[in-house]
Each structure stands twice: as C-alpha cells, then as structure tokens.
Amino acid sequence: MEANHKHLPRPVYGDSPIFQMAVLQLLSVAELIDLDQNILERLSKPKRAMIASVPIRMDNGKTHTFIGYRVQHSLTSGPSKGGMRYHPNVDLGEVAALAMWMTWKCALMNLPFGGAKGGIACDPEKLSMEEKERMTRRFTEEILPIIGPRMDVPAPDLGTDEQTMAWIMDTYSMSVGYACPEIVTGKPIELGGCIGRREATGRGVVYCIMQALAEIDVQPGNATAVVQGFGNVGAVTCQELATRGVKIIGVSDRWGAIANPLGIDVSALNKHIAAGKLLKDFPGARAIDANELLTLECTVLVPAALERQITEKNASKLRCRILAEAANGPTTPDADKILNQSDIFIIPDVLCNAGGVTVSYFEWVQDMQQFFWDESQVNQKLEQLMLKAFQQVRACAKEMNIPMRMAALSLGVRKVAKEKKRRGLYP
Ligand code: GLU
C-alpha cells in the first residue's frame, strides 16, 4: 500500500477526509485485483470539476453568493450520472468522493454511465421556495457548459427533490430552446419523470435486506430494524420493511431520535411528520439520544443519512446482524476493519442504495425514447437488477473470500478499468 501513496489526493481536493476515504478504498481494491498502475493513476482523480459562485437575490433584498460544485469522476462508460446535494457541509472533497462512488455504483449495476455529483453549500431548510428556485436556476446556468443528456445527467440527492429537478430541466430547456426532459432524472411525472423513481432507492435497499435476511436465515417477521435518517430513503425503507413484517424499533432524523422496542407505527409517524411536527415528538415512541440509536440491538441497522457515521469509535459497539448502507459512505475504512472482524453481514453502499440510480437509468431511457413504462414494469425490472447485482457481489465475496464491500467495489472498478484499457489513452 505504501508505494501507492502518490495516489492520495493532491491539495486541489483539500484535506477532505471523505475524498481520502474514497481513494483509500480504491487503493485497497487496486491491490486486491492487481489493477494496472496506469489505470489506477487515472481512476484515482476525477475527470473534471467545476466550482461556481452562485449569487442570488435573497428575499430581504440583499445579495448572497453560495458556492456550488459539480464533479464528474468518469465519462468512460457514457454520460456521468449523480445527484445534486444541498447541505451546509457540501465541499469539493465530499462531492469528488461521492462522484467516485457513483462510478463504481453505475459500473456494478451495469448502467451505461460514469459517476458524477454536485451540490451547493447551503441550508435548504433556511431558504424560501423562491430563494431555492433562484439558486437552482443560477447554478444550472453556471454548469450549462458541462451538463447534457449525453454528457452529465443530474438527479436528486440530500436536500433536493422533484421540484429542484423541474427547475434544472426548465432552465436547461430554455437555454437550448426545446423541452429536454432527459437532462435530469428524478423529475415530476408530468415532466417525463419515472413512476417509482422517488421510492426506488428505499425499495432497492429493502430488496437487498430481504436477501441478506435469507443469508442469515431470519424470517422478516422475526426481524427488527433501526433506521438512521427519515428523508426520502429512510422513510421509504421503513415503510417497505414494515409492509414485509419487519418491526421498526428505532428511527432518527437531523433533529432527534426515537425508539420503541414494541415497534414504531410507520404510517402514523409519516402522518405525524406530514402534519409539520418533529419526529422526536412522536407520541408512539420515546425520544433517545441520537448517538444511542446506532448501537441499539436489532437485526438490521440502516444508516440512511450522511457519510462517516460508523467510525472506529462506535464500530465495535454495533449490535446488529446486518448493516444495510442506504447512505453513501456511512462507514469509514477504520470502522470497516473492525466490522470485518465481526460476523455482521454488510450490504455495502454501492450495492445497497443503487436502486435510485437504476430507476434514474430507466427514466433516462424512457425520456430518450419518449416511450413510457408502467409501475409494475419499473418495479419488476428494478428488483431483477438489484437481485442480480446482490448475487454477483455475494458470489464474488465467497469465491475470493473477501468482504462484501471489497467484492462490490472490485466488480465496479474492474468493469471501468476494462473499458478504459480498451478505449486507450488519448492522444
Ligand atoms: N443521488 C442518488 C445516489 O446517490 C441517485 C443518483 C442518480 O439517480 O443519478 O445514488
């Protein structure tokens, strides 16, 4: 590994611990699969990154400049693909790491895309609808030269949603002079969005969890789950798990955590939140400390929030049998070392949360063809692709006697490496 340290991030990506984490993972995989050093040299850096000032008029009449980023890690397999994140912690290093993970995810799922990610450092909770619209449109305008249906296709991520995608689609369409739904995925259905896209990530997580439960020989009806995060991914995961008989015994969001060993009524919790109340005030459970949540005893632990939640500090305290990584990068490499010594079954992020980008691919294909599928087609195809990927990762892990994460990453990295080799180095 030492010899490889020249591949560690250069100052351009700052000292970003999250980008370091992504590169360290790549280095371990490279060693494992004996990756060509010339290919590693290329894969360890993003292809292209843009930093843009996004000045907007705030509602109070003052001008505020937000900083936006779009990083395209790879364009080898097709357009780059990945979400747009609105969160105060967004920086170049985080976006670059997330873009790299998107490359491995798309490759693992065999989608004709490379990886990208973008975002704006802001707190969307503190912005009005009008401010968010102005910020999104101005940012889209700034990144126009590097996005396109055949170049880079954004999608929702933390802090963004269908409405954000509608603004990006409209801004792009106004600029090119015709309606261009295929510029983004995760759009509203009436603008060419795909039925089931909103639920896709959570559904994919649950398809993987069902497979993992079968691996450890536990019936869903006898299983319990703890879910960190109750956004688009966490809430759908809870709902879909509950439908299959899994008891949800702990949930959290950015304002607090709740637990109930007898089970949390997920539909009632959804109604409670839809009524504008805080998750931590839900009457059907008791409020607990957010740090306590991850170490509750359960069958399945689902981190569905931010990166680096499971670290060397809490990894040895986990009391789950399955760790289903619905978030991107929730487990640090140090924590991974600890978990690999335990018998916790890990469903790594690039596999576990790949349902979102998979249905994004379906959406892009439908928009390009202007031929739309029904919901059962979408869900059936999603389940089929998720199960196939799960089985491939499982088989690779068994065959090479390596952890699930290494298996998933090596399948992804190997595919991109092969394509790069075939295409060659230009000029
Ligand atoms: N933001 C999602 C992810 O991290 C989805 C990306 C997409 O659909 O392009 O996988």
Question: Quick check: 359 and 196 in contact, CB under 8 A?
Answer: yes
Expressed in angstroms and rounded, the spacing between residue 13 Cα and the centre of ligand 1 is 22
pLDDT one-digit tens code per residue, 362-384: 999 999 999 999 999 999 999 99
pLDDT band at 355 (very low <50, low <70, confident <90, very high): very high
Is it the case that residue 425 has pLDDT exceeding 50?
Answer: yes
pLDDT at 9: 56
> How many helices (H) and strands (E) in the chain?
14, 12
Looking at the CA of residue 158, tell me the nearest atom of ligand 1.
1
Q: Is 105 a catalytic residue?
A: no
Per-chain mean pLDDT for the chain: 96
Question: Quick check: 278 and 255 in contact, CB under 8 A?
Answer: yes
Domains of the chain: 46-178 (3.40.50.10860), 199-352 (3.40.50.720)
Expressed in angstroms and rounded, the spacing between residue 157 Cα and the centre of ligand 1 is 6
Is it the case that residue 417 has pLDDT exceeding 80?
Answer: yes
Ligand 1 pocket, mutate which of 80, 117, 151, 157 (most atoms under 8 A from CB): 157
* Residue listed under structure tokens 């992804």: 412
pLDDT band at 320 (very low <50, low <70, confident <90, very high): very high
Is it the case that residue 2 has pLDDT exceeding 70?
Answer: no
pLDDT at 1: 46
Q: Does the Cβ of 233 fall within 6 Å of ligand 1?
A: no
| Percentage, residues of the chain above pLDDT 90 | 96
Q: Does the Cβ of 16 fall within 6 Å of ligand 1?
A: no
- Token pair belonging to 383: 């389940």
Helix spans in 75-221 (H):
92-108, 129-143, 162-176, 197-215
User: Any idea what DSSP says for residue 180?
Assistant: -
Q: pTM of the full predicted structure?
A: 0.96
Expressed in angstroms and rounded, the spacing between residue 169 Cα and the centre of ligand 1 is 16
First to last CA, the chain: 30
Q: Does the Cβ of 83 fall within 6 Å of ligand 1?
A: yes
Is it the case that residue 6 has pLDDT exceeding 80?
Answer: no
Looking at the CA of residue 357, tell me the nearest atom of ligand 1.
8
Q: Does the Cβ of 394 fall within 6 Å of ligand 1?
A: no
Q: Does the Cβ of 356 fall within 6 Å of ligand 1?
A: yes
Expressed in angstroms and rounded, the spacing between residue 82 Cα and the centre of ligand 1 is 5
Average pLDDT over residues 323-344: 97
Q: How far apart are CA 298 and CA 87, in angstroms?
A: 30
Is it the case that residue 10 has pLDDT exceeding 90?
Answer: no
Average pLDDT over residues 291-315: 97
Is it the case that residue 14 has pLDDT exceeding 60?
Answer: no
pLDDT one-digit tens code per residue, 176-205: 999 999 999 999 999 999 999 999 999 999
pLDDT at 165: 98
- Token pair belonging to 90: 């967004």
Q: Does the Cβ of 357 fall within 6 Å of ligand 1?
A: yes
Of all protein residues, the one whose alpha carbon is nearest to atom 8 of ligand 1 is 357
Q: How far apart are CA 48 and CA 53, in angstroms?
A: 17
Of all protein residues, the one whose alpha carbon is nearest to atom 10 of ligand 1 is 357
Give the 3-state secondary structure of residue 225. Answer: strand
Phi-psi domain of 120 (left: phi exceeds 0; alpha: psi -120 through 50; beta: other): beta
pLDDT one-digit tens code per residue, 58-113: 999 999 999 999 999 999 999 999 999 999 999 999 999 999 999 999 999 999 99
pLDDT band at 13 (very low <50, low <70, confident <90, very high): confident
Expressed in angstroms and rounded, the spacing between residue 260 Cα and the centre of ligand 1 is 31
Q: How far apart are CA 310 and CA 333, in angstroms?
A: 10
pLDDT one-digit tens code per residue, 140-164: 999 999 999 999 999 999 999 999 9
Q: What are the two backbone dihedrals, phi and then psi, of residue 135, each rounded to the nearest 5 degrees?
A: -65, -45
Looking at the CA of residue 185, tell me the nearest atom of ligand 1.
8
pLDDT one-digit tens code per residue, 227-278: 999 999 999 999 999 999 999 999 999 999 999 999 999 999 999 999 999 9
- List the catalytic residue out of 47, 81, 105, 117: 117
Q: How far apart are CA 99 and CA 131, in angstroms?
A: 26
Q: Does the Cβ of 95 fall within 6 Å of ligand 1?
A: no
Expressed in angstroms and rounded, the spacing between residue 132 Cα and the centre of ligand 1 is 20
Q: Does the Cβ of 234 fall within 6 Å of ligand 1?
A: no
Average pLDDT over residues 17-46: 96
